[in-house]
Amino acid sequence: MAELLTSAQMRAAEQAAMASGAVTGLDLMERAGQGVVNAALGAWPELAHSSYKAVVLCGPGNNGGDGFVIARLLKQRGWDVEVFLYGTPEKLPPDARTNYERWQALGDVAGFVDLCVGQIESCDLVIDALFGTGLTRPIPAVMAAVAQGLAHPNGAARRVAVDLPTGLCSDSGRILGDDPSAVFPSDLTVSFHSLKQGHVLGQGAEICGQVAVADIGLNAVGETLRAGMQDGPAVTLYDEPHRSALAKQGFGHKYNHGHALILTGPSGKTGAARLAARAALRVGTGLVTLGTPHEAVTEVAAQITALMLIEIDTPDLLTRVLSDPRLNALCFGPGFGVARAGAFLPAVLASRRATVLDADALTALAQSDSGFANLHENCVLTPHAGEFKRLFPDLAARLAEPPLTGPAYSKVDATRSAAQRAGCTVLFKGPDTVIASPDGQCSVSAAVYERAAPWLATAGAGDVLAGLIAGLMARGFPPHQAAEIAAWLHVEAARSFGPGLIAEDLPETLPKVLRGLSL
Ligand SMILES: NC(=O)C1=CN([C@@H]2O[C@H](COP(=O)(O)OP(=O)(O)OC[C@H]3O[C@@H](n4cnc5c(N)ncnc54)[C@H](O)[C@@H]3O)[C@@H](O)[C@H]2O)[C@@H](O)CC1
Ligand SMILES: Nc1ncnc2c1ncn2[C@@H]1O[C@H](COP(=O)(O)OP(=O)(O)O)[C@@H](O)[C@H]1O
Ligand SMILES: [K+]
């Protein structure tokens, strides 16, 4: 799994690499500039065959330094290059200053105030090297005006951001300030060494366009690099489960693969739990039983075949059913009814079973007098943004405040705090789903860029996810891992099915996704 770094971790990695003597800042800057040129020519191969016109916007720090390298490399390819600098050359940090001077041997540098949007629109490539990981406050008005012009360019200019689109916070993927247009949208963003959190969280993906990662040689520094990264455990970008984790052994039988109990709502509301149950069965749980109130039994029975059914009308009955230790995972909440969920909550939590709390169970939890006291480490909470706000109003409020300084409070920060507070795994949904656990594990399951899955925004998709997590916990996966694998399979199923997806299609597409993993 790839790491998603914060700006502080990236700085620490660079410092460690330089302190080891393996590289200099100038080496890193040269590789960064070269990496951007390579990525741009890779994205638009037509640009490699002739010389074109570029406008390079350089800022007052090392991001600007990368810009001077790019200007020089393009000029050396025969391009017509215009460079604009925000700030004064005397104040550039040493490596950026050196590259400013190297560029001066090849061309002029104009002041940023002399730039007009028309100049950008008439070029082939515009390089945003204004601010990168050093952005700490909203961009100045003069830059925001240019950014607005670039948002809907009339010309054919391809927009490339160096490290991050200027205005976007590297840690949170949020636009600094209260002006949503104060950011340079790009068609291609070239990050260095690895992606930063801001490339996948929040508005990151929308603003970055596509992303590419340029290797600037930090991996070679190995242990020194790790030692430099002391700013908390890294967040990972979850990629795909190992085949060995999900495969079933040839000699097993159904009881080796767990037994999930999915609790349904009353009649007319059982669809959500049935979706969850079907997902649990498809993800390989040995047995899946729907726990249904008496009055809904006929409705549920009419709809199911491979699933089993048991009557559960009261919390006491649930406790009695759960005296069977073979029922090893629970899914509680989809379509359940908030008041009923409040009544069942103590029995569910007292069972100490691996439990997914979703939908109405989350609302009931937010309203319950005992709060998070009875949650345990085998619970997984799966809130969407509205449910997160009910459960953790102060964290949600921090996330909703316009971020005036950087690095800004992020969805990773909020989910990590939520997991600490709840004492269990929290999966905070969205295209940038964040999964955090009290032991500090944190990963992002991103449905962005080539993994975009906009058709998942459909009623019932969340119920399927809850069923997948419960099913994987029944199969024996620990909560954090179950949540990660479920979120990944969920997105893969949506992508595999494609447009027209409805929630029912997700469990039915799982076999194809699992086959794709060579199970
Ligand atoms: N440190 C290194 O050795 C390397 C850095 N690299 C580049 O350097 C960048 C980071 O450089 P810096 O740390 O110099 O930071 P930036 O170049 O992103 O920002 C420069 C400085 O501008 C100021 N600033 C922040 N927000 C501002 C605002 N809204 N208005 C006005 N001024 C503001 C801050 O004091 C900040 O340090 C990376 O994103 C990457 O592009 C790469 O060259 C690879 C190597
Ligand atoms: N635009 C999107 N891209 C990717 N995933 C999305 C998108 N919108 C929603 N999702 C995912 O779809 C699911 C929706 O869940 P939820 O909001 O609980 O819906 P419901 O309650 O109707 O089932 C979540 O897993 C969420 O992460
Ligand atoms: K930039």
Domain of 166, CATH number, reads 3.40.50.10260
Please list the residues that pair with 5 across neighbouring strands.
196
Residue range 464-482: mean pLDDT, rounded: 98
Does the Cβ of 451 fall within 6 Å of ligand 2? no
Instruction: Write down the pLDDT at residue 230.
Output: 53
R_g of the chain, CA atoms, integer Å: 26
Say how far apart CA 347 and CA 342 lie, in whole Å.
10
Amino acid in the structure at residue 219: N
Last residue of a domain, one of 237, 272, 292: 237
**Considering the domain boundaries, does residue 242 fall inside one?**
no
Say how far apart CA 267 and CA 358 lie, in whole Å.
19
Q: What is the ipTM of this complex?
A: 0.95
Cis amide prior to 407 (ω within 30 degrees): yes
Which ligand is the nearest neighbour of the Cα of 162? 3
State the pLDDT confidence band at 322, using cuts at 50, 70 and 90: very high
Amino acid in the structure at residue 51: S
Using H for helix, E for strand and C for coil, what is the string for 21-71? CCCCHHHHHHHHHHHHHHHHHHHCHHHHCCCCEEEEEECCCHHHHHHHHHH
Do 232 and 292 fall into the same domain?
no
Q: How many structural domains is the chain composed of?
A: 2
Q: Which residues surround ligand 3, an ion (CB under 5 A)?
A: 128, 132, 161-162, 166
Which ligand is the nearest neighbour of the Cα of 403? 1
Helix (H) or strand (E) holding 380: strand 379-381
Say how far apart CA 451 and CA 2 lie, in whole Å.
15
Do 121 and 26 fall into the same domain?
yes
Residue range 381-409: mean pLDDT, rounded: 97
**Residue 4 marked ligand-binding:** no
Residue range 430-446: mean pLDDT, rounded: 97
Q: Is the pLDDT of residue 218 over 90?
A: no
State the pLDDT confidence band at 253, using cuts at 50, 70 and 90: confident
Do 304 and 271 fall into the same domain?
yes
Does the Cβ of 462 fall within 6 Å of ligand 2? yes
For the stretch 148-183, pLDDT in tens is 988 887 778 999 999 999 999 999 999 999 999 999
Do 137 and 14 fall into the same domain?
yes
Nearest CA to ligand 1 atom 24: 135
**Considering the domain boundaries, does residue 470 fall inside one?**
yes
Last residue of a domain, one of 184, 203, 237: 237
Does the Cβ of 411 fall within 6 Å of ligand 2? no
**Considering the domain boundaries, does residue 246 fall inside one?**
no
Does the Cβ of 296 fall within 6 Å of ligand 1? no
390 by DSSP, 3-state: which? helix
Do 217 and 337 fall into the same domain?
no
Greater confidence (249 vs 349) lies with: 349
How far is residue 269 from each of residues 295, 434, 440, measured CA to CA in Å?
A: 12, 28, 37
Last residue of a domain, one of 184, 208, 237: 237
Residue range 16-21: mean pLDDT, rounded: 89
DSSP label of 480? H
**Considering the domain boundaries, does residue 245 fall inside one?**
no
**Residue 66 marked ligand-binding:** yes
| Mean pLDDT lowest among 24-38, 230-244, 401-415, 454-468 | 230-244
Residue range 332-338: mean pLDDT, rounded: 98
Does the Cβ of 335 fall within 6 Å of ligand 1? no
**Residue 222 marked ligand-binding:** no
Separation of CA 189 and ligand 3 centre (Å): 8
- Counting from 1 in the atom list of ligand 1, the atom nearest the Cα of 29 is 43
Which ligand is the nearest neighbour of the Cα of 59? 1
pTM of the model: 0.96
Separation of CA 299 and ligand 2 centre (Å): 26
**Token pair listed for 152:** 């809907």
Say how far apart CA 329 and CA 356 lie, in whole Å.
8
CATH of the domain at 474: 3.40.1190.20
Does the Cβ of 25 fall within 6 Å of ligand 1? yes
**Considering the domain boundaries, does residue 218 fall inside one?**
yes
Helix (H) or strand (E) holding 261: strand 259-263
Q: Is the pLDDT of residue 224 over 50?
A: no
**Residue 337 marked ligand-binding:** no
For the stretch 272-298, pLDDT in tens is 999 999 999 999 999 999 999 999 999
Instruction: Write down the pLDDT at residue 446.
Output: 95
**Which residues form the domain of 393?**
253-516
**Considering the domain boundaries, does residue 243 fall inside one?**
no
**Considering the domain boundaries, does residue 429 fall inside one?**
yes
State the pLDDT confidence band at 242, using cuts at 50, 70 and 90: confident
Q: How crowded is the C-beta side of 10, counted as CA atoms within 13 Å?
A: 23
Residue 129 phi, psi (nearest 5): -120, 45
Do 177 and 261 fall into the same domain?
no
**Residue 138 marked ligand-binding:** yes
Which ligand is the nearest neighbour of the Cα of 36? 1
Do 191 and 311 fall into the same domain?
no
Does the Cβ of 53 fall within 6 Å of ligand 2? no
Question: What share of the chain has pLDDT > 70, as a percent?
Answer: 97
Do 175 and 259 fall into the same domain?
no
Do 118 and 80 fall into the same domain?
yes
Do 225 and 260 fall into the same domain?
no
State the pLDDT confidence band at 51, using cuts at 50, 70 and 90: confident
Do 233 and 257 fall into the same domain?
no
Do 509 and 436 fall into the same domain?
yes
Q: Is the pLDDT of residue 326 over 70?
A: yes
Nearest CA to ligand 2 atom 18: 462
**Considering the domain boundaries, does residue 493 fall inside one?**
yes
